[in-house]
Amino acid sequence: MPVNGAGVQQTEGSTPASPTEAKEDNMTDNVHQQQSDNGCNHQSPNQNHKPQHGDGPETQTLPMPVPDPPIQYTKLFINNEWHESCSGRKIPVYNPATGTLLCEVEEADTEDVDEAVRSARAAFQMGSPWRSMDASDRGQLLNKLADLVERDRLLLATLEALDSGKVFLMAYFVDLMATIKTLRYYGGWADKIHGKTIPIDGEYFTYTRHEPIGVCGQIIPWNFPVMMFAWKIAPALCCGNTVVIKPAEQTPLSALHMAALIKEAGFPPGVVNVVPGYGQTAGCAISHHMDIDKIAFTGSTAVGKLIQRAAGDSNLKRVTLELGGKNPNIVFSDCDLEHAVEQAHSGLFFNQGQCCLAGSRVFVEGPIYEEFVHRSVEKARGKVLGNPLLPGVDHGPQIDQKQFDKIMELIESGKREGATLECGGSAWGQQGLFIQPTVFSNVTDDMRIAKEEIFGPVQLIMCFRTTREVIQRANATQYGLAAGVFTNDIDKALTVSSALQAGMVWVNCYNAMSVQCPFGGFKMSGNGRELGEYALQEYTEVKAVTIKISQKNS
Amino acid sequence: MDASNRGLLLHRLADAIERDAAYLAELETIDNGKPYAVSYMVDLPHVVKCFRYYAGWADKWEGKTIPIDGDFFCYTRHEPIGVCGQIIPWNFPLLMQAWKLGPALATGNTVVMKVAEQTPLTALYVASLIKEVGFPDGVVNILAGLGASAGAAIARHMDVDKVAFTGSTEVGHLIQQASGGSNLKKVTLELGGKSPNIILSDANMEDAVEQSHFALFFNQGQCCCAGSRTYVQADIYDEFVERSVERAKRRVVGDPFDLKTEQGPQVDQEQFNKILGYISSGKREGAKLLCGGGVAADRGYYIQPTVFGDVQDNMTIAREEIFGPVMQILKFKSLEEVVERANDTKYGLAAAVFTKDIDKANYVSHSLRAGTVWINCFDVFGAQAPFGGYKASGNGRELGEYGLENYTEVKTVTMKVPQKNS
């Protein structure tokens, strides 16, 4: 996978400060190979889409980041207008690859949230353009938004890579592709949300309406900013709700650009309001708000608990949560070993390990353990760190100092508690927030690194003997988001996948996701499901209407 | 191909049709005779919406996992049926093409479509758009041909897995027989109707008159769901008849490209003759001819908007589908009586009731044996709402989620597992 075969690069003096400097032409077939091996089966550059629709270039040229991209939108988006914050405060937005300040955006606090909620509530009134619109028209607006995202895909991918540190080609081929597909998928559902007519006892005619819940507060994280934005607004709008969405303070830029596209697409004012701010202020205002009907949160389990308490404390707003994970990836000795190593690798290291789904506990069956560790270390050593905007780089920085410190601290605890450090284990580069891809073997279940969510590029490989044992160990966690099973034996695959307490179980793959398939956690990884048809339930309030009739006719 | 990609292709087709809407509307009017204003403002938007609706379904048509008894893991797959023959009529050429292609392609089938020999032009143009937007070769094949030759060949073909037909009940019988005589291909039919339109005395009179006029005369009366038996409650009968006649006399018949025209010509000589024949029978059997009754111009297939009053249930014009601009108005006294008379027909496609009373609306709509019942409206269609007939008006439903069922084979897969876990 490395472009130059050298392993982890020490690129002294190459300050990845500006994309214009980084025009080295590193486009080779290796890079291509690596894009399709990322484990995320959303897409590869060779998808059979017609080129004219801009889903991706033909295989010869890779997309390039926009040089010196304009950052046009830095204010709060309320009622289809751009506002300065009531407090006058702003949030500094940094490029984690370089530490440089990209810009400042307005910081929303309680008063701004109040205003956003007022405008969302007004847009939800009976008789408003949004409430009296055909469902199919809501769907058309979402499709139009998808078209606009497709038009601005290069710019959005560039902003996303600059703001979050993720590899540009990943942003383009994974995050933006998923965003477009999610908007289109829910655009298609809008006029297919069916209530029922019900054969009730008695002389009555009964039917259900699947109504929107109302004003939905949505709080999203920094690891997949624009994709999380789409996952939240698409089902909400599809069902007819209005939205107040708070992007993460670390990564507001793509959300604000989306706000501009939402206005351009033609969504009525107040339907979507975007209010970047901090969790303890704006986030808290949302979760406590007496006029928000539902809150959807993606982030850490610790904050998820606060949200749940806040809902109970305020108006019992409906709550859905997508939280952390410590996901087991179970590799049996009868699997395709090379494939399993590859999938486990990308299953952990994708997005610099900053995935709720990261396969962070790799359980390998005794007979293949040594070989598996050896091959995994080789893969980890082969990652190319550097400026995420450059093709050929496949590992960027962590998002900020706080995450960096937390990961390093956990790495130290691993060393201290006696795990074997196979490779990595330190920071990389002279500046900032890069951490070497790290592999620990001989990890035992009681170590901190085996129990706590690291959210960084640290792969843990543990050994197991029997199926019964590994199921028990895999389930021995408060989390329950995802899991992987690698085996060629049909019985083992069915038994283990049924037994694992996880919302998503992958068999002979990892991170295989697409908008049609529901996603969410068991236990403290959250409640509710996003994506697929299932997500519609979370944004619907069912009303049963019963009319007296003069005579029943079956 | 990803299901979502099938959906994307359908979206692109909708976009291309929308792009060429003015041209297609013109072509539709030249070929069929319907007023251009209607082709452009009604047919084309419905066509685009239908393709968009089914584009959205492509990756949402889900099978299930099923809690079967025993140590088994059981699930269903919703598979496409295979090669679908589709035979469409001349009254809404583009729209009928969309109603057929949308669900068939969304679910992954391939299609051989025979368009009506009277109106092949727009469907063939759409075929060029299908190629332009990138459907793979062979997925959609469109042929112009005659029913007795090409249509029959499709109906009895040993390698066509399903046939969907929209047209007359008479030919529907032939299609069903052909299936039985060949490979038992699955059959869905959308056939004729003699749809009752029931006006109760508490209805909004102006509204009811206008809607009833539209219900019969729309598309030159050439609608399978035309409200061709207008039952009016005794106490409002005289006023209703007078207003309906006045409205019919005002109906503008003329050049379909004139934007003021409401009614163009009938589609061909055969239909023209048939309708005039029914008008004669009405006069002969004693119905009261209140206006129209003859040819409207000295060339082309134009017929005067015609209204018969005092029609009795046993008259030919009250029993047989005329498919032309000829309105039948009948009188009734009670609800029970009119429901019985409305249901006394071999057909069962659509029906309507006009009333403000919630009890009456529910009673009548639940009692009528018809696939679509309109309340205080008529001819309201949406891609989201299923449409189809009871009895000899056909079987199966088009449009809505229900429309997907006709193009799906359900496969159940059951796997042995070592131990059940609920």
Which domain covers residue B355, as residue numbers? Answer: 196-375
Q: Is A61 on the interface with B (CB under 8 A)?
A: no
Tell me, what's the ipTM?
0.87
Question: Is pLDDT above 80 for B321?
Answer: yes
Q: Is A190 on the interface with B (CB under 8 A)?
A: yes
Phi, psi of B192 (to 5 degrees): -85, 180
Region A324-341: what's the mean pLDDT? 97
* Lowest-pLDDT range of A29-38, A415-424, A482-491: A29-38
pLDDT value at residue A34: 38
* Same domain? B273 vs B326: yes
Question: Is pLDDT above 60 for A24?
Answer: no
> Is the CB of B7 less than 8 angstroms away from the CB of A188?
yes
Residues contacting B181, CB < 8 A, separation 6+: B156
Q: Is A297 on the interface with B (CB under 8 A)?
A: no
Angle at which helices B121-133 and B93-106 pack, to 10 degrees? 30
Question: Is pLDDT above 60 for A198?
Answer: yes
**Of B41, B16, B9, which Cα lies nearest the Cα of B28?**
B41
B266: CATH:
3.40.309.10
* Same domain? B234 vs B352: yes
- DSSP β-ladder status, B110-115 and B140-144: parallel
> Is the CB of A192 less than 8 angstroms away from the CB of B4?
no
Please name the fold of domain A328-514.
Aldehyde Dehydrogenase; Chain A, domain 2 (3.40.309)
Report chain A residues whose CB lies below 8 A from the CB of B52.
136, 139-140, 143
* Same domain? B187 vs B201: no
DSSP letter, residue A171: I
Distance from CA of A554 to the nearest CA of B (A): 8
A29-55: b (≥16 Cβ within 10 Å) or e: ebbbebbeebbbebbbbeeebeeeeeb
pLDDT tens-place string over residues B168-222: 999 999 999 999 999 999 999 999 999 999 999 999 999 999 999 999 999 999 9
pLDDT value at residue A37: 38
pLDDT value at residue B195: 98
Residue B292 tokens, joined: 């129209």
Instruction: Break chain A down into helix, strand, coil percent, rounded to 5.
Output: 40, 20, 45
pLDDT value at residue A552: 87
* B190 assigned to active site: yes
Region B375-401: what's the mean pLDDT? 96
**Of B78, B49, B61, B51, which Cα lies nearest the Cα of B4?**
B61
Question: Is pLDDT above 70 for B163?
Answer: yes
- DSSP states of A468-516: HHHHHHHH-SS--SEEEEE-S-HHHHHHHHHHS--SEEEES-SS---TT
Region A467-494: what's the mean pLDDT? 97
B420 assigned to some structural domain: no
> Is the CB of A139 less than 8 angstroms away from the CB of B57?
no
pLDDT band at residue A61, thresholds of 50, 70 and 90? confident
* Same domain? B82 vs B8: yes
Region B411-420: what's the mean pLDDT? 92
B38: CATH:
3.40.605.10
Question: Is pLDDT above 90 for B372?
Answer: yes
Q: Is B410 exposed, middle or buried (0-12, 13-18, 19+ CB in 10 A)?
A: exposed
Chain B's closest residue to A185, CA to CA, is: B56
Report chain A residues whose CB lies below 8 A from the CB of B382.
136, 191
Distance from CA of A337 to the nearest CA of B (A): 25
| CB half-sphere exposure, A26, CA atoms < 13 A | 23
Chain A's closest residue to B401, CA to CA, is: A192
Q: Is B386 on the interface with A (CB under 8 A)?
A: no
Residue B52 CA to residue B44 CA, distance in Å, equals: 13
Distance from CA of A301 to the nearest CA of B (A): 27
Coil vs helix vs strand at B327: strand
pLDDT value at residue A60: 63
Q: How many structural domains is chain B composed of?
A: 2
> Is the CB of A549 less than 8 angstroms away from the CB of B362?
yes
Name residues 333-372 of chain B within 8 A of A (Cβ).
Answer: 358-359, 362-363, 366-367
Residue A350 CA to residue A106 CA, distance in Å, equals: 31
Q: Is A46 on the interface with B (CB under 8 A)?
A: no
> Is the CB of A495 less than 8 angstroms away from the CB of B401?
no
Question: Is pLDDT above 70 for A12?
Answer: no
* Same domain? B203 vs B157: no
pLDDT band at residue A59, thresholds of 50, 70 and 90? low
User: Which of A41, A42, A49 is the best substitution to test chain B (most B C-beta atoms within 10 A)?
Assistant: A49
> Is the CB of B401 less than 8 angstroms away from the CB of A194?
yes
> Is the CB of A192 less than 8 angstroms away from the CB of B60?
yes
* Same domain? B344 vs B398: no
Phi, psi of B199 (to 5 degrees): -110, 110
> Is the CB of A184 less than 8 angstroms away from the CB of B8?
yes
Task: Please tell me the total number of residues recorded for chain A in this structure.
Answer: 554
Q: Of these residues, B18, B79, B117, B190, which one is catalytic?
A: B190
CB B65 within 8 A of CB B414: no
Region A421-432: what's the mean pLDDT? 91
* Same domain? B187 vs B202: no
Chain B's closest residue to A490, CA to CA, is: B417
Strand partners, B398: B387
Sign of the CA dihedral running A521, A525, A526, A527: positive
**What are the residue ranges spanned by the domains of chain A?**
76-323+531-541, 328-514
Residues contacting A222, CB < 8 A, separation 6+: A164, A248, A250, A251, A399
Chain A's closest residue to B134, CA to CA, is: A50
Distance from CA of A506 to the nearest CA of B (A): 17
Region B98-106: what's the mean pLDDT? 98
pLDDT tens-place string over residues B253-298: 999 999 999 999 999 999 999 999 999 999 999 999 999 999 999 9
* Same domain? B239 vs B256: yes
Region B135-143: what's the mean pLDDT? 98
Q: Is A465 on the interface with B (CB under 8 A)?
A: no
Chain B's closest residue to A554, CA to CA, is: B366
CATH superfamily label, A76-323+531-541:
Aldehyde Dehydrogenase; Chain A, domain 1 (3.40.605.10)
Question: Is pLDDT above 50 for A92?
Answer: yes
pLDDT band at residue A93, thresholds of 50, 70 and 90? very high
Distance from CA of A187 to the nearest CA of B (A): 7
Q: Is A137 on the interface with B (CB under 8 A)?
A: no
A516-554: b (≥16 Cβ within 10 Å) or e: bebbbbbbbbbbbbbbbbebbebbbeeeeeeeebeeeee
Residue A103 tokens, joined: 């810009």
pLDDT tens-place string over residues B344-369: 999 999 999 999 999 999 999 999 99
Residues contacting B73, CB < 8 A, separation 6+: A494, A498, B65, B414, B415, B417
Please count the helices (runs of H) and the strands (runs of E) in chain B. 15, 16
Question: Is pLDDT above 90 for A146?
Answer: yes
* Same domain? B234 vs B124: no
Strand partners, B309: B288
Region A213-235: what's the mean pLDDT? 98
Query: Biggest alpha carbon distance in chain B?
Result: 81
Q: What is the mean pLDDT of chain A?
A: 90
> 3-state secondary structure string, A264-283?
HHCCCCCCEEECCCCHHHHH
Q: Is A554 on the interface with B (CB under 8 A)?
A: no
pLDDT value at residue A19: 37
pLDDT value at residue A460: 98
pLDDT band at residue A551, thresholds of 50, 70 and 90? confident
Phi, psi of A139 (to 5 degrees): -60, -40
Q: What is the mean pLDDT of chain B?
A: 97
* Same domain? B41 vs B60: yes
* Same domain? B153 vs B265: no
Region A534-554: what's the mean pLDDT? 93
pLDDT band at residue A431, thresholds of 50, 70 and 90? confident
Report chain B residues whose CB lies below 8 A from the CB of A203.
none
Question: Is pLDDT above 70 for A7?
Answer: no
Distance from CA of A50 to the nearest CA of B (A): 7
CB A435 within 8 A of CB A399: no
Region B2-30: what's the mean pLDDT? 98
Region A162-187: what's the mean pLDDT? 98
pLDDT tens-place string over residues A239-258: 999 999 999 999 999 999 99
Q: Of these residues, A107, A115, A322, A365, which one is catalytic?
A: A322
Please count the helices (runs of H) and the strands (runs of E) in chain A. 17, 20
| B55 closest CB neighbour out of A48, A135, A188 | A188
pLDDT tens-place string over residues A266-300: 999 999 999 999 999 999 999 999 999 999 999 99
* Same domain? B151 vs B254: no
B382 assigned to some structural domain: no
User: Which of B9, B47, B49, B54 is the best substitution to test chain A (most A C-beta atoms within 10 A)?
Assistant: B49
Residue A417 tokens, joined: 């508690």
